[in-house]
Amino acid sequence: MKITFMGAGSTVFARNVIGDCMCSEALRDSVFALYDIDGERLEESRTILEAMRAAKGGYGKIECYVGVENRKSALRNADFVVNAIQVGLYDPCTIIDFEVPKKYGLRQTIGDTLGIGGIMRALRTIPVMKDFADDMAEVCPDAFFLNYTNPMAMLTGFMLRYTPIKTVGLCHSVQCCSRDLLSKLGMEDRLEGRKELIAGINHMAWLLQIKDKNGVDLYPEIKSRVDNYLADPEDNDKVRMEYIKNFGYYCTESSEHNAEYNMFYIKSKYPELIEKYNIPLDEYPRRCINQIERWKNEYKEILETGIKEHERSNEYASHIMEAIVTSEPYQIGGNVLNTGNLISNLPADACVEVPCLVNGYGINPCSVGALPVQCAAMNMTNINVQLLTIEAAVTRKKEHIYQAAMLDPHTGSELDIDTIKRMVDDLIEAHGSYLPKYN
């Protein structure tokens, strides 16, 4: 079996996913093909993974492929392809995504999923994903493509609508959603044996049901504790707790993310909201800087002291592969196309996040039915932007980029149409060769 990792220069994530595979008897004898366009970063990953492979008993084989000219070889005969690329990296592209909008008075927190930052990230990533899909159709047409790259719904939606590749989008936020909520509200005693239902869209999938091991609905108690949480000035998940108060349900991704997915919290006319809700503006650039520095120190330590023991994580990737290979069923929250009205009050061409059963037949999404109307309405404010961004990437028409930005809840609530268009033009110019030409 062959498992190819695209963007293997993302060493920490490659270590976790491939390390998980090395912990599985069904996967550990695989060929692990590492691909990146940065040879130095790829070598760091190879060094760590070879040490980990030796510590795990020497099973399998690691191969490295550097550069676009070797991409087909990395993908050839792959059974699974894990995608974790970041086109343009922190420097220059993330910096551009944050600094250019700031000139127009538009502030962001993360900028990788929605908003003007998410739109630009999608537009520079989709052409690369299209190249991946073309190569896969030629050299590994039956492989499963496991996408971890953001913006999740835009990229996965593109792959599912415009390529023949079997694709699922995977996000960490589903696994930890109910655990984090109960822990933050002091309800840790209800964690064991809990039952939950989560559905919606990536980063805004709704915790529709949460019951304890005896089948008792936990939402009444959750709602009774929200005001106390919001009253504490130190607590940092206030946006999602406000969702519970105003929309009735908690959602999957963090408050720093969700603060920029709507028109409610980051408002230049109401600067006091930033402190009230503990909204960390410019959070993602800070994380990037800290992560780069932290990785330098960690890599140096690994070279000096050796690889640390890896225990299998709850990341979905290895469990999906194992379930398909062994036919032992496993449930995930996956990002898939809304084919067959999985969520009946969202569009068929939307990328939705729903429970999926994984087994020897592949990844099988489960029908959820209709979301509460207010939850579907919130999702639609994001889906509008996602669909228009995909349309821009496919048609290469700049008017669709304008429209995506105009209909983005945060951007449209802060800027007028002419300013939005000027900002988009400036972003396109600043990104230069990272973007294709638009008509």
Tens-digit pLDDT profile for residues 332-385: 999 999 999 999 999 999 999 999 999 999 999 999 999 999 999 999 999 999
- CB atoms closer than 10 angstroms to residue 31: 15
Q: What is the pLDDT of residue 302?
A: 80
Enumerate the active-site residues: 172
- CB atoms closer than 10 angstroms to residue 338: 22
Tell me the C-alpha to C-alpha distance, in Å, between residue 180 and each of 150, 183, 240, 241, 419. 22, 5, 11, 12, 39
Tens-digit pLDDT profile for residues 43-71: 999 999 999 999 899 999 999 999 999 99
Contact indicator for 233, 185 with CB cutoff of 8 Å: no
Cα gap 271→288, rounded to integer Å: 25
- Residue 77 CA to chain centroid, in angstroms? 26
Tens-digit pLDDT profile for residues 129-183: 999 999 999 999 999 999 999 999 999 999 999 999 999 999 989 999 999 999 9
Which helix (H) or strand (E) covers residue 33, if one does?
Answer: strand 31-36
Contact indicator for 158, 126 with CB cutoff of 8 Å: yes
Residue range 102-118: mean pLDDT, rounded: 98
**Mean pLDDT of the residues in the chain:** 96
Strand partners, 61: 31
Q: Is 200 left (phi over 0), alpha (psi -120 to 50) or beta?
A: left
Among 344, 348, 327, 439, which Cα is nearest to 394's? 439
Cα gap 405→413, rounded to integer Å: 11
pLDDT-derived band of residue 306, with 50, 70 and 90 as boundaries? confident
Tens-digit pLDDT profile for residues 382-422: 999 999 999 999 999 999 999 999 999 999 999 999 999 99
Tens-digit pLDDT profile for residues 10-41: 988 999 999 999 999 999 999 999 999 999 99
Torsion (CA) 355, 359, 363, 368 in degrees, nearest 10: -30
- CB atoms closer than 10 angstroms to residue 238: 20
- CB atoms closer than 10 angstroms to residue 197: 15
Strand partners, 199: 206
Name, in order, each residue with C-beta under 8 angstroms of 266's C-beta and a sequence gap of 6 or more. 107, 108, 109, 259, 260, 273, 274, 279, 281, 410, 414
- CA 258, 264, 269, 270 torsion-angle sign: negative
Q: What is the pLDDT of residue 179?
A: 97
Instruction: Report residue 288: phi and psi, to 5°.
Output: -60, -50
